[in-house]
Structure 1
Amino acid sequence: MNHSRESYDRLARELGGYRHPWARVLSGPDPELTFDLWLSRLLTPQTRVLEAGCGHGPDAARFGPQAARWAAYDFSPELLKLARANAPHADVYEWNGKGELPAGLGAPFGLIVSRRGPTSVILRLPELAAPDAHFLYVGPRLNVPEVPERLAAVGWDIVAEDHVSVLAHAPTWEDWQMRGEFMGKLARRADWDAEATVRGMPYREERHLVLARQLGVARKLGA
């Protein structure tokens, strides 16, 4: 996928948010359920949360009421319009994670989250995080090496990590084409004809989950 502002604005207009445009059938639990579980365990009525790359605001809408404050940012104006409508209780800012912090953002935060959001937020943790804060991330590949590298660069420890892979199928050729376009990979009809089953084209839904804290204050999840 072209990760330009225009591409994300187009997703907002055509799909009503940051959504995968293809149908998929999973053969096991959605790997992002682990992220949901970890996030739920970290939230308290006193938690101040910052979400990087909030998209159309599904996490702000679902989890925001459980927190003392839910602030979020994204760089797509069209997605932000949807986020403000979907999560009116959240404080939503237009920002790309670079340059000066948005006015009124209100750091520090006790929890910074990024669901397929930008890893650049990790480099801003010294400015954004409270002394005992957590950082929670899930990425769209089995391994996102820049996450541990950047956490080490800012002096944070990984206290929990998971690599999840679930068999999935794109049920039609059109779905497989859309997935290829979204992932920036060419979908070839010859591959579909040779490898697709009655359930569609098999592939793996993969996620890399990371929970981190600053060095010296790391605790295990649930402690």
Structure 2
Amino acid sequence: MSDVPHSRAWYARLARELGGFRHPWTRTLDGPDPELAFGALLAGHLTPHTRVLEAGCGHGPDAARFGRQCARWVAYDWLPELLEQARSNAPHAEFHLWDGKGEVPMGLRGPFDLIVSRRGPTSVIRHLPAVAAPDARFLYVGPRLDMPQVPERLAAVGWAILAEWRVSVRARIPTWADWQTRCEWMGETASREDWDAHAGARGRPYHEERYMVLAGQT
């Protein structure tokens, strides 16, 4: 990809070429996908009365999968290309264009009983007081075992971490090109020397990591 990683143009190209917000590299896991843990946590917090706000919905896979299990599923993203796909994938949900900055749009003010962020935007945390119903919960998953900005931002708005999970599963990436793409996505440096030192017949081993948080109002 020639666009600056994580820019609007970069994500728009992902949407066009991959049909949504998807990792553009090949990998195999030696254990269960850590995203399954987040899915189980999310499902466990849904009832027919739950009103959900999803931050950074991408092409709408969670809205499509879980949106009919709750009273209302409202989501936002900053890319029109992804929102167009989300509306097609989950016509029963509500979608809004927003980048998480500035004042919360009226359509996103809720109140909501559950605020979720699977794809990493932590900017929603500072808006929790404006969108959350009494006794609401915030459920987050990030791409590393430690995401210090999450507890810091929660504390800044008076929310407390009720539970934390850290999941690490060994994985393998088959080619140098795939490894370069992953490192670009993660903001890491891809070293050919490192690749040659660690890659084997099945590719280069590494660990898929996830940090999950359940938070509530103090």
What's the TM-score once normalised by structure 2's chain length? 0.94
Number of the residue aligned with 1:159: 162
Mapped contact 2:114–2:132 kept (Cα < 8 A): yes
Q: Which residue of 1 aligns with 2:98?
A: 95
**SS of structure 2 residue aligned to 1:12:** helix
Render the CA deviation track for 1:24-48: whole Å, top value 9, x for unaligned: 1111111111111110110000000
SS in 2 for 1:104: helix
Divergent runs of 4+, >4 A:
none
Q: Tell me, yes or no, if structure 1 residue 149 matches structure 2 residue 164.
A: no
Structure 1 equivalent of residue 141 of structure 2: 138
Residue 201 of structure 2 is matched in structure 1 by 198
Q: Percent identity?
A: 69
Kept in 2, the 8 Å contact 1:54–1:117? The answer is no
Equivalent of 1:122 in 116, 120, 125: 125
Q: Is the 8 A contact 1:27 1:166 kept in 2?
A: yes
Distance, in Å, in 2 between the alignment partners of 1:56 and 1:107 is 22
Quote how far apart the aligned CAs of 1:61 are.
Answer: 0.4
Counterpart-to-counterpart distance in 2, 1:214 and 1:129 = 9
Alpha-carbon distance, 1:106 to partner: 4.5
- Residue 37 (structure 1) aligns with: 40
1:62 to 2:65 alignment: yes
Q: Is the 8 A contact 2:54 2:115 kept in 1?
A: yes
**CA–CA distance in structure 2, aligned partners of residues 175 and 104 of structure 1:** 39
Q: CA deviation at 1:104?
A: 2.5
1:185 is aligned to 188
Distance 1:131 1:53 in 2: 23
TM-score (structure 1 length as normaliser): 0.92
AA aligned to 1:98 is: K
Checking the alignment, whether the CA contact within 8 Å between 2:172 and 2:203 is kept in structure 1 is yes
Unaligned runs of 5+ in 1: 216-223
Give the superposition deviation at 1:107.
1.2
Whether the aligned pair in 2 keeps the contact of 1:49 and 1:111 (CA below 8 Å) is yes
What is the deviation of 1:153? 1.1
How far off its partner does 1:210 sit?
A: 0.1
- Does the CA contact (< 8 Å) of 2:120 and 2:143 recur in 1? no
In the alignment, the residues of structure 2 paired with residue 36 and residue 189 of structure 1 have an alpha-carbon distance, to the nearest angstrom, of 35
Query: Is contact 2:56-2:117 (8 Å) kept?
Result: yes
- Structure 2 CA distance for aligned equivalents of residues 187 and 158 of structure 1: 34
